[in-house]
């Protein structure tokens, strides 16, 4: 498995010690690595070329600051340039004050428009909108059924028109939105191969008929070099306002985001990050830059942790932690949070250097261990959870039977739990000054049985 760019650059510059300015020869080697990293991430080769040239110009003669190594300096420059290319700040969906607001989705076949439409409706409803979905994909068999079914799941109405006149259906949908007091209409259109003039034309006509506030192009994060061709064609014919990147929950680097941004100047607004209908997130350029370079996404990880942890419970738990009264119930709660965060697999992917793990499927194994630990705790009585000292041999045997594990597994968990508690106590006796806010993390020393 290849290293991430940061590591590669560090090793290139390993010999280069101290400060000073970077020489042209040093930079050449680095630029080759950057080019390779971007191409592996599916950034369009032309975009790569101009990008590398820009970075080179900034890098040659760049001052290596005291705090950074030459490698780190180059990485910083690359990240800055990438981020500025992807858009300095996160872009928001801008709707006019018109009611109903209209958002139209376009994209290639299989990019995930219908799913994105439902996710977007769900997302905007959370922000206080009353959306309606308008089904305009009259070509793909059952596409309308799919949208209806998603609408039912979300309890969001779906308008399905009659006939084959897509413009008329779209217009009727907007009328229906007004009649049913909906303030936002999300229009799902047919997917197309962008070489298909007729379909492209239809999208342009629907746009002209509806004059939507926003036209969003849905782009599959796994798209390769052709992303620019598709985006340019849509940009020319339909002139979209922004992009939803779908399927970013896989391990694709998503270089297409960079290519599209560079070629069309359109911002990426949302990212689809899972199969569930709430798996749509605002797009963060800085994080995407790191992902493209294979440098992980620590910020998202932290945010997910914060989101998942129920604030009150955590404080209560911290209090108990401080008093070293941490119980198995608290531990179970933490496990649940871990799962809410998308499980260990998701988290690993966001960690810097996660590329190393890709072949190991370590995440998968750990996930099962988590389940096992949860099963063990759930097989304990409330009393036992609160007071682990109760756990004698026969109780442990019963728990092992209940959880479908061996007594050895139970023993191991209890042992680790006690060690963690002891550690807590030691930390506490170190005085309040040394007290560390545990926040979300597992208590130190707590390890899962292997």
Partner 1 sequence: MATPWYRRISEGLAKSRGRLEGQLNVLVGRGPDLDVAFWEDLEDVLVGADIGVAAVTDIVERLRDTASRKALPDAESVIEHLAEEIASEFPTDVSDPLAVSPVVILVVGVNGTGKTTTIGKLAKEAVDAGRSVLLGSADTFRAAAIEQLDIIAERASVPVISRERGADPAAVTFDTVVAANERRPDLTLIDTAGRLHTSADLMKELQKVQRVAKRETLAPVMTLLVMDATTGQNGLAQARKFDAALKLDGIVLTKLDGTAKGGIAVAIVRELGLPVVRVGIGEGIDDLKPFVAEEFARALIGRG
Residues in contact with partner 1 by the rule CB under 8 A: 36, 39-42, 44-46, 49, 108-112, 140-150, 153, 193-196, 220-227, 229-230, 247, 249-253, 255-256, 275, 345, 349, 358, 361, 363-364, 367
Minimum CB distance to partner 1, residue 113 (Å): 9
DSSP string, 405-442: S-HHHHHHHHHHHHHHHHHHHHHHHT-GGG----TTSP
**Running DSSP on this structure, what letter comes out for residue 108?**
B
Minimum CB distance to partner 1, residue 164 (Å): 16
Minimum CB distance to partner 1, residue 256 (Å): 7
Which of 280, 380 has the CB closer to partner 1?
Answer: 280
Distance CA 120, CA 224 (A): 25
- In b/e form, how buried is each residue of 237-264, taking b as 16+ CB within 10 angstroms? bbebbbbbbbbbbeebbbbbbbbbbbbb
- In b/e form, how buried is each residue of 146-156, taking b as 16+ CB within 10 angstroms? bbbebbeebeb
Which of 91, 111 has the CB closer to partner 1?
Answer: 111
- In b/e form, how buried is each residue of 377-406, taking b as 16+ CB within 10 angstroms? bebbeeebbeebeebeeebbebbbeebebe
Which of 276, 323 has the CB closer to partner 1?
Answer: 276
Reading the block at residue 408, the tokens are 């050895």
Instruction: Mention every residue, 6+ apart, whose C-beta is less than 8 A from residue 86.
Output: 257, 258, 261, 268, 285, 286, 288, 289
Minimum CB distance to partner 1, residue 230 (Å): 7
Minimum CB distance to partner 1, residue 354 (Å): 11
For residue 132, report the phi and psi dihedrals to the nearest 5 degrees: -130, 145
Distance CA 236, CA 201 (A): 11
Which of 345, 352 has the CB closer to partner 1?
Answer: 345
User: 229 burial class (0-12, 13-18, 19+ CB within 10 angstroms)?
Assistant: middle
Minimum CB distance to partner 1, residue 24 (Å): 17
Which of 123, 247 has the CB closer to partner 1?
Answer: 247
Minimum CB distance to partner 1, residue 78 (Å): 18
User: 287 burial class (0-12, 13-18, 19+ CB within 10 angstroms)?
Assistant: buried
Minimum CB distance to partner 1, residue 41 (Å): 7
Which of 178, 193 has the CB closer to partner 1?
Answer: 193
Distance CA 187, CA 3 (A): 42
Distance CA 423, CA 442 (A): 12
Minimum CB distance to partner 1, residue 195 (Å): 6
Query: What distances in angstroms separate CA 230 from CA 35, 108, 195, 219, one per listed residue?
Result: 23, 8, 9, 9
Which of 148, 183 has the CB closer to partner 1?
Answer: 148
7, 78, 13: which is closest to 43 by C-alpha? 78
Distance CA 87, CA 365 (A): 38
Which of 194, 396 has the CB closer to partner 1?
Answer: 194
Distance CA 321, CA 155 (A): 42
Which of 307, 364 has the CB closer to partner 1?
Answer: 364
Q: Is the dihedral of CA 283, 286, 291, 295 positive or negative?
A: negative
Minimum CB distance to partner 1, residue 109 (Å): 7
Which of 6, 114 has the CB closer to partner 1?
Answer: 114
Give the count of alpha carbons within 13 A of 365, CB side only: 9
Which of 163, 433 has the CB closer to partner 1?
Answer: 163
How far from chain centre, in Å, is Cα 202? 32
Minimum CB distance to partner 1, residue 449 (Å): 20
């Amino acid at each position: 498995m290849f290293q991430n760019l940061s590591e590669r650059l560090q090793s290139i510059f390993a010999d280069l010690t101290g400060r000073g300015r970077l020489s042209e020869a040093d930079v050449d080697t680095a630029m080759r690595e950057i080019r390779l990293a971007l191409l592996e991430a599916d950034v369009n080769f032309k975009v790569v070329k101009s990008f590398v040239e820009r970075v080179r110009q900034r890098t040659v003669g760049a001052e290596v600051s005291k705090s950074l190594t030459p490698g780190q300096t180059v990485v910083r420059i690359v990240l800055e340039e990438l981020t500025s290319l992807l858009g300095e700040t996160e872009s928001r969906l801008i709707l006019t004050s018109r009611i109903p607001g209209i958002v139209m989705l376009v994209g290639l076949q299989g990019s995930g428009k219908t799913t994105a439409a439902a996710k977007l409706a769900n997302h905007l409803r959370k922000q206080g909108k009353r959306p309606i979905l308008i089904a305009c994909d009259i070509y793909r068999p059952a596409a309308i059924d799919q949208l209806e079914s998603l609408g039912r799941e979300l309890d969001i109405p779906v308008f399905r028109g009659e006939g084959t006149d897509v413009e008329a259906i779209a217009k009727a949908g907007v009328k229906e939105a007004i009649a049913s007091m909906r303030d936002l209409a999300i229009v799902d259109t047919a997917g197309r191969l962008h070489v298909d003039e007729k379909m492209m034309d239809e999208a342009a006509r629907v746009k002209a008929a509806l004059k939507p506030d926003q036209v969003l192009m849905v782009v599959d994060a796994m798209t390769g070099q052709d992303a620019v061709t598709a985006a340019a064609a849509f940009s020319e014919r339909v002139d979209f306002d922004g992009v939803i990147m779908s399927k970013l929950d896989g391990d694709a680097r998503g270089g297409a985001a960079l290519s599209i941004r560079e070629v069309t100047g359109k911002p990426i607004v949302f990212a689809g990050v899972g199969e569930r209908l709430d798996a749509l997130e605002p797009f963060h350029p800085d994080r995407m830059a790191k992902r493209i370079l294979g440098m992980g996404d620590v910020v998202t990880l932290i945010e997910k942790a914060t989101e998942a942890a129920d604030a009150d419970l955590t404080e209560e738990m911290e209090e108990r932690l401080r008093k070293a009264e941490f119980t198995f119930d608290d531990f179970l709660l933490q496990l649940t949070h871990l799962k809410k965060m998308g499980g260990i697999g998701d988290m690993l992917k966001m960690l810097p250097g996660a590329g190393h793990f890709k072949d190991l499927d370590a995440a998968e194994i750990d996930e099962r261990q988590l389940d096992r630990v949860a099963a063990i705790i759930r097989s304990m009585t409330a009393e036992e959870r609160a007071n682990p000292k109760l756990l004698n041999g026969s109780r442990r045997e019963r728990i092992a039977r209940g959880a479908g594990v061996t007594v050895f597994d139970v023993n191991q968990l209890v042992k680790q739990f006690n060690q963690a508690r002891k550690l807590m106590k030691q930390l506490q006796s170190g005085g309040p000054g040394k007290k560390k806010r545990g926040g979300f993390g597992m208590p130190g020393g707590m390890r899962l049985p292997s």
